[in-house]
Amino acid sequence: MQKRVLALLLTLVMVFSLAGCKGKNDTGISTEPTTAPADKDDTTATATPTETSSEPSGQIVIGDTTEISGEFIPFFQNNAADNVIYTLTNAYPTVDVTSTGEFTVNNTVVTDKKVTDNSDGSKTYTWTIKKDLVWNDGSPITAKDYVASALLWSSKLVGDMGADTTQVAKYLKGYQDYSTGKSKVFTGVNLISDDSFSVTIDKQYLPSFYELYFASLQPVKLSFFTDDAVTIADDGKGAYLSDNFTKANYEKKINAARTKVPAITCGPYNAVKFDTSTKEAVIEVNPKFVGDYQGQTAHIKTIVYKKVVSETAMDELRTGSVDLLAQMTTGDEINAGLDLVDKGGFAYTAYDRNGYGKLQFSCDFGPTQFVEVRQAIAHLLDRNDFAKSYTGGFGSAVNGPYGPAMWMYQDTKDELDGKLDSYPYSLDDAVKLLEDGGWVYDKNGKPYSSGIRYKKLDDGKLMPLTIEWASSEQNPVSELLVVKLQQNPDVAAAGIKINQTVMTFPELLNYIYRDGSTDKKYGVPTYHMFNLATGFTPVYDMASTYTTDPEQFKAGTNSNYIKDDELAKLSQDMLLVEPSDKAGFEKNFVSFIERWNKLLPDLPLYSNNYHDFYNAKLKNYNPNGIWDMRYALLYANVEEQ
C-alpha cells in the first residue's frame, strides 16, 4: 500500500519458529505469538516501558545494506533506511499500534474521542488533543497541525509533484474531490478549535476492519514545508488551505524540505546530520518528546545510521564499527552472526518476516504485460531451491503477497495451500503457456523453431520475448538470480532472453515509480522486471497497490501498473467488514490472494526468518514481527561493557 516504502514495514502477525532453521545454539530472544488485531481505547500492551536512568546515554551505530537517500518523509521516494529515520523522528498519531498488533487510542496525545454515526452512512471521529505537546523547536502542537497533515499530503499540489497522496486521508469523505483539485475544501476534515478536530470516514469504506486506524491523523509542521503565509481555515463545511498555496509559490520549498536536516519534527529523536557523500545519518534524543502511547521515551542518546555491504557487515559488527545489524536474511550472514554470538559479547533476536523478496513485473508494456509470460518465468525458476540457497534454510517460498508470520495467512494456510498455484519448475509448462499466449514466431514472422520467441501484436508488429531486468548493486539476491534464472539454459530453451542492468537502489525505485522529477529518463517505462523486497504495514490494505483509478495510477501507487478490475475490487472488498469480523476478513483475504496468484504481478522468491545481531551493550531490545527495529529501539538502552 505505501508507495515509497519497500522492504521494510510492519504487519499484523503470528510469530512462529521455523523448525530446524536456528542452526547454531539458540541463544537469541524468542518472540511470542500474536493474535488478530483488535481496536482498543486504552494503552494496554505487551511491550513494557523500560526502567533505566532518566537521562539518555550512550550511542549505537546501525549498519544497513540499504543506502540512505536522504528522503526522510514517506510520500515521495522514502526507502527502507530512510523510513527508519522518519519513524524515529516523527510521532504523536491519535491512534497507535501496540507490539501485539492492536490499534489503540494514543492517550499520550488524546484527551477525548467522540464517534458519531451520520445519517448519510459516514462516521465522524472527533478528537481532542492535549495542550502541552510541542515540536522540537518548542512551538506548540495544535489541532491545526493534525488537519495540516491531511490537507498537505492529500493535496493536488504535492500529487502533481509526484507524491503519493493516498497515504494519510484517502478514506475520508471528500478526499477524491480534494486530491484532484475539484474542491478547495476537504469536507471530511474539520478544524474545530485549537485543540479539537474531526475526521469523517466516507460511507463507501464502511464498515471497515481498520476503522479506528482510518480515523487517525499525525501532525505535520506546515510552515516547515511552506511558510507562515500559508494558513488553514474552516468555515464549517471542511478545512482548506489559503489561496497562496500554489505550485508556483511552494514547489521549490517543499522539495527542499523533503531532505532538509535538521527538520521541525516531534518524534523521540531529532535528525541532526546527514552526510550526502558517506550516506551517514545521525539522530539525537529529542528532549521535548513526552512519549509514545505508553509514555515511553528514548534512553539511547545518539544513533548513527550508516551503509554497510553484505560481504563485510559481520566483520564491522565484530570489530565495533557498527553495533546493530537488523533483519539479516541470508544463510551465510545468519550463520556468521550465530558464530559471533557463540564467542560472547554479542546477542541476537530472531523473528519471522512480514513480507517477501520478489521479482516485480511491469504489467503495462513489453512482454511482461502478458500474464502467460509472467507465469512462464515462474515455471523457469525453482523457487524452493532459490529460497533454500539464499536463506540457508532460514526461510521458504511463498505463493502470494504475504509473509508466513501473518495471522490471516496462518489461519487460512491449509485453504490457500489447496487453492494456490505454486508454479513448480517445468520447462514444458513454460513453453505451453508461451505457445498458448501467441509467442509462436521468430524474428521474421515465421513459425518459431529456436532462439528468441516473438508475438504478433494487434497492429501486426512483432514483439521479441526479451526481458529488461533492473537490479540493485551489491545485492546477493541479484547475483543468485543471474545463476538461477538469467543464465538458466532452460530460459533460453523456452525462447526468452533476459538482459540485466545494475544500478543503485534509489535509481531502481525511480524507474519503478517512473519518477521523472529528478530526471526525465525515469519517467519513461524502461524495465519489465525488478528484484527487490517488500513488507506489510499493520493495515493490510492493498486497495491502492492494485487500484485502477487513473489519478492514483499517475501517482504511482500501483507500481506494477496492472489494470485488473477484479483484483482491484477484491482488494477493496477485503476491508469492508466490521472490525470484529475476523472470519469475514479472512474469507475476503483468500479470494484476493487467489486472484493475485493467477495474475502474478510479482513472483515471490522467499520469505525468511529475520535475525537482528547486535553488541551485547544493547539491552532491552526486543523487536518482533510487529515492532521492528524502528519501534524496539525506543524501549532499548545502552550499558557500556
Confirm if 624 and 31 have CB atoms less than 8 A apart: yes
- pLDDT of 83 reads 92
Q: How many domains does the chain have?
A: 1
Q: Does 114 fall in a domain? A: yes
Q: Does 619 fall in a domain? A: no
The yes-or-no verdict on residue 52 having pLDDT over 90 is no
- pLDDT of 44 reads 39
- Give me the mean pLDDT over the 564-576 stretch: 97
Mean pLDDT (the chain, rounded): 91
Closest to 600 in 3D by CA, of 422, 473, 412, 446: 422
Q: Supply the range of the domain harboring residue 176.
A: 83-266
Q: What is the pLDDT of residues 336-363, one digit of tens each?
A: 999 999 999 999 999 998 899 999 999 9
Task: Considering only residues 352 and 266, tell me which one the structure prediction assigns the higher pLDDT.
Answer: 266
Q: Does 115 fall in a domain? A: yes
Q: Does 442 fall in a domain? A: no
Q: Does 367 fall in a domain? A: no
CATH classification at residue 175: 3.90.76.10
- Give me the mean pLDDT over the 514-536 stretch: 93
The yes-or-no verdict on residue 248 having pLDDT over 90 is yes
Q: Does 497 fall in a domain? A: no
How far is 442 from 545, CA to CA, in rounded Å?
A: 36
Please calculate the CA angle 170-220-264 and round it to the nearest 5 degrees: 150
- Give me the mean pLDDT over the 199-210 stretch: 97
Band of pLDDT at residue 37, cut at 50, 70 and 90: low
Q: What is the pTM (predicted TM-score) of this model?
A: 0.83
Among 16-25, 530-539, 632-641, name the most confident range: 632-641
Task: Considering only residues 515 and 41, tell me which one the structure prediction assigns the higher pLDDT.
Answer: 515
Q: Does 92 fall in a domain? A: yes
Q: Does 465 fall in a domain? A: no
Band of pLDDT at residue 38, cut at 50, 70 and 90: low
Helix residue spans in 328-465 (DSSP H): 331-343, 371-379, 383-391, 407-419, 427-436
Closest to 397 in 3D by CA, of 427, 350, 357, 354: 357
The yes-or-no verdict on residue 22 having pLDDT over 50 is no
Please state at what angle helix 582-599 crosses helix 371-379, rounded to 10 degrees: 90
Looking at the chain, the whole-number percentage of residues with pLDDT higher than 70 is 92
Cell of residue 109, nine digits? 496525545
Residue 131 sits at φ, ψ, to 5 deg, of -95, -5
- Give me the mean pLDDT over the 258-266 stretch: 97
Band of pLDDT at residue 482, cut at 50, 70 and 90: very high
Q: What is the pLDDT of residues 417-436, one digit of tens each?
A: 999 999 999 999 999 999 99
Q: What is the pLDDT of residues 593-620, one digit of tens each?
A: 999 999 999 999 999 999 999 999 999 9
Q: What is the pLDDT of residues 375-394, one digit of tens each?
A: 999 999 999 999 999 999 99
- pLDDT of 43 reads 37
